[in-house]
A and B are shown apart, each in its own frame.
Chain A
Amino acid sequence: MKAMTGMVLLAVFLAFFSVHDAAAEGPVSRFSEYIYAPGDLKAVDSTLKVRVGDRAPDFTLPAISGADVTLADFRGRANVVLSFIPAAWTPVCSDQWPGYNIVEERFRQSEAVLLGISVDNIPTLHAWTKQIGGLWFEVLSDFWPHGKVAAQYGVLRSDGTAERALFFIDKEGMISAVKVVDINTRPPLEYIFQELDGFDLK
Chain B
Amino acid sequence: MSFRSTTSVAVVVIAAITVLLSAARFVTAETLPEIVVTVPESKEDRAYLGLEKEAGETFNLAEIDADILLIELFSMYCPYCQAEAPVVNTFHELALQRQEKGTTIRVVGLGASNTQFEVDHFRDTYDIPFPLFPDKPLTFYKKLGGEGTPSFLGVLLKKGAEPEIVLRQTGGFDSPEEFLEKLLESAGH
**Among listed B11-19, B39-47, B56-64, interface-contacting one:** B11-19
User: Cβ of B80 < 8 Å from any Cβ of A?
Assistant: yes
- Whether A98 contacts B147 by the Cβ 8 Å rule is no
- Whether B14 contacts A15 by the Cβ 8 Å rule is yes
Instruction: Given A15-B17, A15-B18, A30-B171, decide whether A4 and B6 contact each other with a Cβ distance below 8 A.
Output: yes
A contact patch SS: helix
What B residues does A101 contact at CB under 8 A?
Answer: 79, 82
- Whether A3 contacts B148 by the Cβ 8 Å rule is no
What A residues does B13 contact at CB under 8 A?
Answer: 7-8, 11
**Among listed A48-56, A82-90, A186-194, interface-contacting one:** A186-194
User: Cβ of A127 < 8 Å from any Cβ of B?
Assistant: no
What A residues does B118 contact at CB under 8 A?
Answer: 99, 188-190
B173–chain A nearest beta-carbon distance, Å:
12
Residues of B25-63 contacting chain A, CB below 8 A:
25
What B residues does A1 contact at CB under 8 A?
Answer: 1
> Mask for A142-183, Cβ within 8 A of B = 1, else 0?
000000000000000000000000000000000000000000
> Mask for A1-16, Cβ within 8 A of B = 1, else 0?
1011001101110111
- Size bracket, chain B contacts: 35 or more
A24–chain B nearest beta-carbon distance, Å:
12
B172–chain A nearest beta-carbon distance, Å:
10
- Whether A96 contacts B17 by the Cβ 8 Å rule is no
What B residues does A31 contact at CB under 8 A?
Answer: 78, 80, 148-149, 171
Given A10, A19, A27, A95, which contacts B25 in the complex, CB threshold below 8 Å? A19
- Whether A19 contacts B22 by the Cβ 8 Å rule is yes
Given A26, A28, A103, which contacts B168 in the complex, CB threshold below 8 Å? A26
Cα A158 to Cα B75 in complex, Å, equals 31
- Whether B115 contacts A188 by the Cβ 8 Å rule is yes
Instruction: Given A16-B21, A98-B77, A188-B115, decide whether A7 and B147 contact each other with a Cβ distance below 8 A.
Output: no
- Whether A102 contacts B171 by the Cβ 8 Å rule is no
Given B17, B21, B77, B83, which contacts A186 in the complex, CB threshold below 8 Å? B77
- Whether A29 contacts B148 by the Cβ 8 Å rule is yes
User: Cβ of B9 < 8 Å from any Cβ of A?
Assistant: yes
- Whether A102 contacts B76 by the Cβ 8 Å rule is yes
Given B6, B78, B149, B171, which contacts A3 in the complex, CB threshold below 8 Å? B6
Given B17, B25, B82, B113, which contacts A102 in the complex, CB threshold below 8 Å? B82
Given A14, A22, A29, A189, which contacts B76 in the complex, CB threshold below 8 Å? A189
Residue of A with least CB distance to B80: A31
A153–chain B nearest beta-carbon distance, Å:
24
- Whether B78 contacts A98 by the Cβ 8 Å rule is yes
7 more contacts with CB within 8 A, not counting A31-B148, A132-B79, are: A4-B6, A26-B147, A29-B148, A98-B79, A99-B78, A102-B82, A190-B117
A–B Cβ pairs within 8 angstroms, 7 of them: A4-B9, A11-B10, A11-B13, A31-B149, A98-B78, A99-B76, A132-B79
Which A residues have a C-beta under 8 Å from some C-beta of B?
1, 3-4, 7-8, 10-12, 14-16, 18-19, 22, 26-32, 95-96, 98-99, 101-103, 132-133, 186, 188-190, 193
Which 3 residue pairs of A and B lie closest in terms of their CB atoms, listed nearest first? Answer: A29-B148, A99-B77, A7-B10
